[in-house]
Copies of this chain bind each other. A is one copy, B any other.
Amino acid sequence: MDIHDLTRQLHVKNDTKIVLYVADGLGGLPQKPGGLTELETANTPNLDALAKVGISGGSIPVFPGISPGSGPGHLGLFGYDPIKHLIGRGALEATGIGFHLEQGDVAIRCNFCTLDAQGNITDRRAGRIATEESTPLVTKLRAVSIPGVELFVEPVKEYRFVLVLRGKGLGGHVHDTDPQRTGVPPLAPVAADDESKKTAEVCAEFFRQACQILAGQPKANACTLRGVSPKPHLPSYEEVYGLKAGAIAVYPMYKGLARLVGMDLVGNAQTLDEQMTVLEENWAKYDFFFVHFKYTDSTGEDGNFDAKVKKTEEYDAAVPRIMALKPDVFIATGDHSTPSMLKSHSWHPVPTMLVAKNCRTDACQKFGETECLRGGLGQFEARFLMPLALANAGRLTKYGA
C-alpha cells in the first residue's frame, strides 16, 4: 500500500503551517537497564510542556528491528516507504556531499586502492590515505575524458570519492568492481541489465584512464567503483502532499535528502540559532518546514551520553522560537535512535510528539521514551507521520463517500 496513492488524491491547500523538527538519532537507551535515557535525563521544559497538550508515541523508522541509515530514516519521516524507495549508495554518497543529481545521472562511490606490480590489490583502502593527500588526486582524476559523457569527480573523505556520469542512455545498474579481498585485481565492471551496458563500458574506461593518471602514486594508484546507482525517482512534496516545503539544515546529507523530495533549501544557517532565524525570516514563504538538528546523533555515535544529553537540551531550548510562530502542526521526532550505549544507529522506536489543535491529547506529561509508550500515537511506522500531519492541518479530505 502506497500512502501517496491516497494523499495525492485527497490533499487540499489551505494557509496552515507544519513544522517537522528533527533531532537526528533522538532515541536512546539508559546507561543501566531501568535507568533514564539521554532524552529522559535531559532538562527539556519546552518539549515537556508541549507533551501535555500534544499527542505522543513511538516512531518505527522501517519496521521493528531495523536500524536505518540516514537515507531510509529520513525517507520514512518524509512519508516515503523506505523499502520501496531505496536510494542507491552512490546516489546517497553524492547527495551527502551536496552534489545535485539530475535525472539520468549515475552516481558511483569510489575507493582509492593500492595495486602491486601484477595489478593485484594489496590494500582496498589505499592505506586509509588522509583527506589532504587524496583531495589533490581526486582533482587530477578530473582529467579523465570520455566522449559523449560528462564526468564529475568529487572528493568525499580519506580514500573515498564520488564519480557521477551524465549523458544519454546510461543505465544505473553495474556490479561493484571491488572484489572485497586482496591478492586479486579489481573486477571488470559488469552491467546488471541491458540498459547499463554503456555505463559499464564508461566505468571500464574511467578505470583505465584513472590508473594511468595515478601510476606511480605510493598508496592510491588505482580505484574501485561501488554502489553504482541512478538518481532515485521520488515524487515531490508538492505533488504528493500539495505542500510547498522548505528545508533548514546544516549538513549536506540532509539538505540533499530534502532536495530529493522537492524541498527548497532555505538559508545558509550554520547553527541552530541561525536555523531559527532562517525559519522566522521565511515563515510566510512555505507551508512546511523541515528543520534538522544533527548533534543528538553525532554525540550518540561518539558514545558520549552526557554530551548527547547536553545536545538534547539545546534542541529543546530552540522550541520556543518555533512555537512563537504558532505553527498549526508541530512535530518533534528523530529519524532513528542513536543510543550512546551502542555508538550507532539502532532499531528502537523514536520518541515522537505531534502538537495541533485537534490532535486528541493523551495523558503524557513529559517527552521521553517511557512516557511515549502510553501516548495516543501508539507505536507507528514513521511513514504515517506525514498523513497525520496533513490531517491535523486540515489538508486531507475524506476518503470515499
Contact = CB atoms under 8 A, between A and B. Distances in A.
A147 interface: no
Interface in A42-58: 52-53, 58
A151 B63 CA distance: 44
Interface stretch (A166-174, A195-203, A355-363): A355-363
Interface in A1-35: 1, 3, 5-6, 10, 29-30, 33-34
State the number of copies, please. 2
A387 interface: yes
Interface stretch (A100-108, A305-313, A372-380): A372-380
Interface stretch (A111-119, A129-137, A261-269, A393-401): A393-401
Given A82-B400, A379-B378, A65 B388 contact: yes
A68 B387 contact: no
Contacts of A58: 378
A358 B378 contact: no
A236 interface: no
B384 A64 contact: yes
Contacts of A349: 376
B388 A64 contact: yes
A373 B374 contact: yes
A345 interface: yes
Contact of A65 (B360, B379, B390, B401): B390
A244 interface: no
Interface stretch (A184-192, A210-218, A280-288, A336-344): A336-344
Interface stretch (A87-95, A120-128, A271-279, A318-326): A87-95
A87 B400 CA distance: 8
Contact of A391 (B3, B67, B363): B67
A386 B369 CA distance: 23
B362 A373 contact: yes
A145 B347 CA distance: 57
Nearest to A359: B33
B400 A71 contact: yes
Interface residues of A, number: 71
Contacts of A29: 358, 360
A339 B360 CA distance: 10
A234 interface: no
A25 B352 CA distance: 27
A5 B369 contact: no
A146 interface: no
A62 interface: yes
A83 interface: yes
Interface string A150-173: 000000000000000000000000
Given A33-B361, A349-B376, 15 more contacts: A6-B66, A30-B360, A30-B361, A62-B399, A64-B388, A68-B399, A69-B399, A73-B400, A86-B400, A89-B401, A339-B358, A346-B391, A362-B370, A378-B378, A378-B379
23 contacts: A1-B63, A1-B83, A3-B63, A5-B83, A29-B358, A29-B360, A34-B52, A34-B361, A62-B399, A63-B384, A63-B387, A64-B388, A65-B387, A65-B390, A65-B396, A67-B397, A68-B399, A70-B401, A71-B400, A89-B401, A346-B358, A362-B373, A373-B376
